[in-house]
Amino acid sequence: MATFVHLTPAANSARVRRAGLKAAGHAAWRGVFLFPVLPSYTLTHQWLRELARRPGPRGLVAVHVRLPDDELVTVGRYSDHQPPQVSAAEAVRRIAGADDCRGWEVFLPRSVAPAEVRHIRPVRQVNGWRYRPGAHGTPPCLCFGCRDRGGYGARRLRERRPHPLDGPPPAPRVLLARVEAAEARGDTAALREALRWYGMRRRAPLARLSGLARHDDPAVRIALVEAASSWSTPGVDLLLRELAHDPDPGVREAVMDVLVR
């Protein structure tokens, strides 16, 4: 029998004892993430600090799970797109024998039954790494795709080390002035650039920008779709619904990409 650990909020302890670990995820990736119990306490619970960054009840516990050695699981680093499927015993062997097993994970494509839960134990809440293994001491990337939006100290960090392309974005009144100036001189490149900056904001003056949905340049309308996809401003859904019937196929495709995301 192979023994694994699953980290979950302490508030779930009673439910786990009663009903086990319920499969989470979607489509083919519904299941439970696990990690083998190794001789090293630090490596066994390495995911704790990264998981603790997520919103929800604070304080995690370790759920110890025992699986048959021939149970099929997938094993690999968190960045692997298609991790191999192996037996539970082989997954333990691969992780234990790795030169650096930080960032590895095991995925069980089913729920865990209550009888397979052996222990629920408290763990030290300062254990593990954050963001990625080896990130400590490395300046974080502050591009729009990598930065931690809404995280502790994230705004101060962006203001102290602004990214040359991804902000922080200019103030709303500055952006609106750029949009108006670009429209006045017919500069579509500047207009798209202003919309790109608007896409990094959570809200936008929709009443003022919605007129760009009828701009002559399809590239501007596509830039409007991409910017509006991140807005929480009321009326965005109506704007996207209008652009979904745009005569240009590129605009319609951009709307579909937003809806899929």
Q: What is the pLDDT of residues 150-177, one digit of tens each?
A: 666 777 877 777 777 776 778 889 999 9
- Give the SS3 label for residue 159: helix
Write down the number of H helices and E strands in the chain.
Answer: 11, 8
Quote the pTM value: 0.62
192 half-sphere exposure, CB direction, 13 A CA radius: 11
Query: What is the token pair recorded at 88?
Result: 């539970």
The confidence score (pLDDT) of residue 150 equals: 66
Query: What is the token pair recorded at 259?
Result: 């809806």
Q: Share the mean pLDDT of the chain.
A: 88
Query: What is the token pair recorded at 233?
Result: 């401003």
Query: What is the token pair recorded at 162?
Result: 């602004």
CB 211 within 8 A of CB 238: no
Determine the residue type at 209. L
| 5 class by beta-carbon count within 10 Å (0-12 exposed, 13-18 middle, 19+ buried) | buried
The confidence score (pLDDT) of residue 169 equals: 77
Structural class in CATH, domain 2-122: alpha beta
> How far is 76 from 127, CA to CA, in rounded Å?
21
> How far is 7 from 44, CA to CA, in rounded Å?
10
The confidence score (pLDDT) of residue 32 equals: 95
